[in-house]
Structure formats: structure tokens, C-alpha cells
A and B are shown apart, each in its own frame.
Chain A
């Protein structure tokens, strides 16, 4: 009888844990949830950690060297970065290519001012539920995801400016 009760308790515990994990993970990587922290190698050399930029508005731009729209979006983001950097705006380009060499070559050719990060293992892409490229994720000064854009238009960044201004003004 005692063993049966213990067994039941274990089952209840497992069910509760699954529920707790499910409720906390179901929304992970979506707007309104804390941005998953990561550290990645950058094209410039040093490793960069997202949480070290707490206090800044951060935009993650997931891209691939085979994506033409990404090229246009990265150029637009670079212009935004130059304008809003003094106001506490940071952009991280996160490359999801398998071939790191091709990605480095692409990043070097773009001559972008913001850091380009490499995620060949796709661990960060998985954490942010990247299911389309390009994809933009806006993170506020408190480290919460506020907006996700999966638009494949080259003007997506321009359309994004009001959102960024709101976040910067907060």
C-alpha cells in the first residue's frame, strides 16, 4: 500500500514537472518572454554574450549567406545602427550557415559596423524558434522579447523603425 502511494506520488510529481516545464517552455523565444541568453563567436574575434547588453535595445537579425533579402535587410539595419547607436541601440547579426568560412566571407564583403555572430550549431536559432529567414527579434532594455518579424520584404527594417523608436524611448 505504501509502495503504491509512493508510486502515485512520483507520478504526480512527474506530471507536475512536465506541466511546469511545458508552461514555462511553451512560450520561450516568443514576444513577452525573457530573451534566451547566449554567447557566440563574432566575426571580429571576441565572443559576445547577449546578457552583457542588458540596458540596450537589441535587435537580433538571423541571416544566411544564401538569402538575398537578408543582404538588403542587413544593409538597412547597418544604417539604423549608425543612427541610433548613441541612444543605446545594438544589432547582432546571427548567421545560421553550416559553412562558417562562407559566412565570414559574406560578412566581410558587407562591411557592416555591427557585430556579426556565428551559430553553426543552430542552438541560438532553436532557442528563438527561427523558422524563416530573414527574421528580426527586438529585445527591450530589460531583456524581454518585444517583437518578432518574419517579413521577407527588403523594407521590413524601415517598417520596423516605429517599433524600435518606441523601445528606445522607454
Chain B
């Protein structure tokens, strides 16, 4: 039932958003965000409800046994027979029915979770589209090559003398970069025109010494998205790391 609601309410909202009607967008975005917040809040409750339902068959069996033991003793023999018959009948029916019900509820819960995740993804993409329109968008990526002479610890990013990002890298993240991963360190908006970006890298340099190095790039932001890459490479000849900012045209 809930699944239908998600599909009935969630999908059309996303569909309407993509129509890019400027008058509808803010209200619908707010409604969608409110729906997402509600779903996220209800998620754990749904899981707990499912756990409770899964635990139910055990409770039924135990209830049956308890009932058999607690039968009034006015007719002890007959009552005992009834109790035995009840207890004997119960296991034959209960396990056959309850697992199926539990499985059905489990499947519905999983489907609901999947719908919530899909909706979350669509809203995330939509949010990015609205918050960072293509004509003002600037994205900065970090990549590393080899990394023999430099172990990345943190990155500070300044655009036009304003700090826009300050990121601490864990060992796992640094390893991921060395394996070819690319990290989006910043996503923001800039006006059309000249801008200056300064990236300050800190980490361990050659011989495990603390290392701090900056790289600067002046770039022209035109209409359209701008992508910049901060590239850390090893300069074998000088046994030093090299930091460069590449402008993706």
C-alpha cells in the first residue's frame, strides 16, 4: 500500500520538476524534500516493524504452549487432551502460514526501501541540477599518480581569496586516489569572468617530512560548466612531487 503511495506521489513530483517550470519548481522541490525527510525518518521505523513481525511466529507458538499449560483444571484429563491436541495442531499450521506472510512483508519492505533509495537518487540529481546550474557550475577534482614522494593528508581550496573547501583525507581515501580514483573536492557556482583558484596541499613528502605546497590557477569562467583537476604527480628526476591544476576545456 505504502509502495503505491511512493510511486503515486514521488514519481510525478520528479516528472514535474524536470519540466523546469520556474513557478512550480520551488514549491515542488520543497514538497519533495519534505517527502524525502519523512521517508528517511520512517525508514528505521519500517525496519523495526518488520523485525517485530518476523518475531511474531515464535510468539504464536509460545502462546499456544502457554495456553495448553494454563488450561483450567475443572476437567483435568479432557483439558489436557484438548491442550495436547491444540499443541499438536498448531505446529502443523503455523509454520506453513507465517513464513509466507513474513516473506511477503519482507519483500514489500525491501521494495519500499528500493523505492526510497531511487527517489533519493532522483532528488539528489535534481537538487544538483537546481543548485548548480550548468551555466555557473564549477567543479574541482583531485587525482593522484604514483604518490611515491607524497602522501596526501589534506587539501584547502580558495577561490578569489575565499575558502571554499577544506578536506581531510583518510588513509583509505588516499589509497583510493592512488588506485586511480578521482575525488570531487568542490562543486559550486561562479560568475562569468576571471577567477583565481589556490589549492594548498599538505601531507608527507620525501623522507616522511611534513610537506605543504600550493598551486595557483587563473582561469576564465565562460557560460557553461567549468571543470578543473588538481593533479598530484611524481617528478622522478627531482625526486619531488608535482602539483598542477588542469583546466578541462
B173 → A minimal CB distance (Å): 8
Q: Mark each residue of chain A from 19 to 40: 1 if its CB lies under 8 Å from any CB of chain B, else 0.
A: 1100110000000100000011
Bound complex: CA A24 to CA B172 (Å): 30
| Stretch of A47-55, A66-74, A104-112, A157-165 contacting B (4+ beta carbons < 8 Å) | A47-55
- Please give, as numbers and ranges, the residues of chain A lying within 8 Å of B71 by CB-CB distance: none
Tell me whether A150 is interfacial, beta carbon within 8 Å.
no
B29 touches A13 (CB 8 A): yes
Q: Which residues of chain B (175-206) have a CB below 8 Å from chain A?
A: none
Answer whether A13 and B170 are a contact pair too, CB < 8 Å, given A23-B37, A32-B44: no
Answer whether A20 and B170 are a contact pair too, CB < 8 Å, given A47-B153, A144-B44: no
Pick the contact of A46: B26, B29, B170 (CB < 8 A): B170
Chain B contributes a number of interface residues (CB within 8 A of A) equal to 23
Answer whether A19 and B27 are a contact pair too, CB < 8 Å, given A32-B44, A52-B170: no
A52 touches B172 (CB 8 A): yes
| Stretch of A4-12, A79-87, A93-101 contacting B (4+ beta carbons < 8 Å) | A4-12
- Of chain A, the residue at the smallest CB distance from B154 is A47
- Please give, as numbers and ranges, the residues of chain B lying within 8 Å of A102 by CB-CB distance: none
Tell me whether A122 is interfacial, beta carbon within 8 Å.
no
B63 → A minimal CB distance (Å): 25
Q: How many A-B Cβ pairs are below 8 Å? A: 57
- Please give, as numbers and ranges, the residues of chain A lying within 8 Å of B237 by CB-CB distance: none
A24 touches B168 (CB 8 A): no
Answer whether A9 and B37 are a contact pair too, CB < 8 Å, given A20-B30, A32-B44, A40-B168: no
Tell me whether B70 is interfacial, beta carbon within 8 Å.
no
B33 touches A20 (CB 8 A): yes
Tell me whether B211 is interfacial, beta carbon within 8 Å.
no
- Please give, as numbers and ranges, the residues of chain A lying within 8 Å of B153 by CB-CB distance: 47
Q: Mark each residue of chain A from 115 to 155: 1 if its CB lies under 8 Å from any CB of chain B, else 0.
A: 00000000000000000000000000000100000000000
Interface residues on A, range: 20 to 34
- Please give, as numbers and ranges, the residues of chain A lying within 8 Å of B74 by CB-CB distance: none
Q: Which residues of chain B (13-45) have a CB below 8 Å from chain A?
A: 23-24, 26-27, 29-31, 33-34, 36-38, 40-41, 44
- Of chain B, the residue at the smallest CB distance from A17 is B30
B33 touches A17 (CB 8 A): yes
Bound complex: CA A55 to CA B11 (Å): 33
Bound complex: CA A15 to CA B169 (Å): 37
- Please give, as numbers and ranges, the residues of chain B lying within 8 Å of A47 by CB-CB distance: 153-154, 168-171
Answer whether A23 and B26 are a contact pair too, CB < 8 Å, given A39-B170, A40-B168: no
B23 touches A16 (CB 8 A): no
Pick the contact of B170: A14, A16, A32, A48 (CB < 8 A): A48
Bound complex: CA A24 to CA B30 (Å): 13
Apart from A9-B26, A17-B33, A49-B172, 9 more pairs, CB < 8 Å: A9-B23, A16-B31, A23-B34, A23-B37, A24-B37, A39-B168, A41-B168, A47-B153, A47-B168
What are 19 residue pairs bridging A and B, where the CB atoms are less than 8 Å apart in the complex? A9-B26, A9-B27, A12-B27, A12-B30, A13-B29, A14-B30, A16-B34, A17-B33, A19-B34, A23-B37, A23-B41, A24-B37, A39-B170, A40-B168, A41-B168, A46-B171, A47-B153, A47-B170, A48-B170
